């Protein structure tokens, strides 16, 4: 009787620690893909950032540069980039690094 209780307890623990979180992640991915809209900036599983240009049943057309469009599988969308993060990235790209006398180039940079 006790071995049966141990097996049942282990199965319950496995479900709570492995299966339930995986189902939650799958549901979050499904919800994200259903919320996908034209004009959203996304990140693909391959690390490509782009703006959604068109959405089909299982494909997404992305504009990755002005006039450059690619097609990716809808399931390859890893994340939708929030508007706040887009603005922060643009601001960070506009700032130029300051050359400082305190941080001279290393020997590798001088010979490289």
pTM check: above 0.85: no
CATH of the domain at 59: 2.30.30.100
pLDDT tens figures, 48-97: 999 999 999 899 999 999 999 999 999 999 999 987 765 666 666 666 55
Mean pLDDT across the chain, nearest whole number? Answer: 83
pLDDT recorded at residue 14: 86
Name residue 77's beta-bridge partners.
44
Residue 99 resides in a domain: no
**Domains of the chain: total:** 2
- Show the domain range for 86: 38-90
Residue 1 resides in a domain: yes
Do 59 and 25 fall into the same domain?
A: no
Q: How many CA atoms lie within 13 A of 43 on its CB side?
A: 9
Do 46 and 78 fall into the same domain?
A: yes
- Tokens encoding 38: 């034209």
Strands across the sheet containing 59-65:
68-73, 59-65, 49-55, 41-44, 77-80
Residue 101 resides in a domain: no
Do 42 and 73 fall into the same domain?
A: yes
Q: Contact 19/34 with Cβ under 8 angstroms?
A: no
pLDDT recorded at residue 6: 92
> Is residue 112's pLDDT more than 70?
no
pLDDT recorded at residue 56: 92
């Amino acid at each position: 009787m006790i071995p049966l209780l141990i097996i049942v307890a282990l199965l319950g623990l496995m479900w709570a620690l492995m299966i339930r979180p995986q189902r939650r992640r799958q549901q979050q991915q499904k919800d994200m893909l259903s919320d996908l809209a034209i004009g959203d900036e996304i990140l693909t599983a391959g690390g490509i950032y782009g703006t959604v240009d068109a959405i089909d049943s299982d494909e997404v057309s992305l504009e990755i540069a002005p006039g450059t469009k690619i097609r990716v599988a809808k399931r390859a969308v890893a994340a939708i980039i929030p508007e706040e993060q887009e603005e922060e990235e643009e601001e960070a790209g506009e700032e130029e690094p300051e050359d400082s006398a305190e941080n001279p180039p290393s020997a590798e940079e001088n010979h490289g």
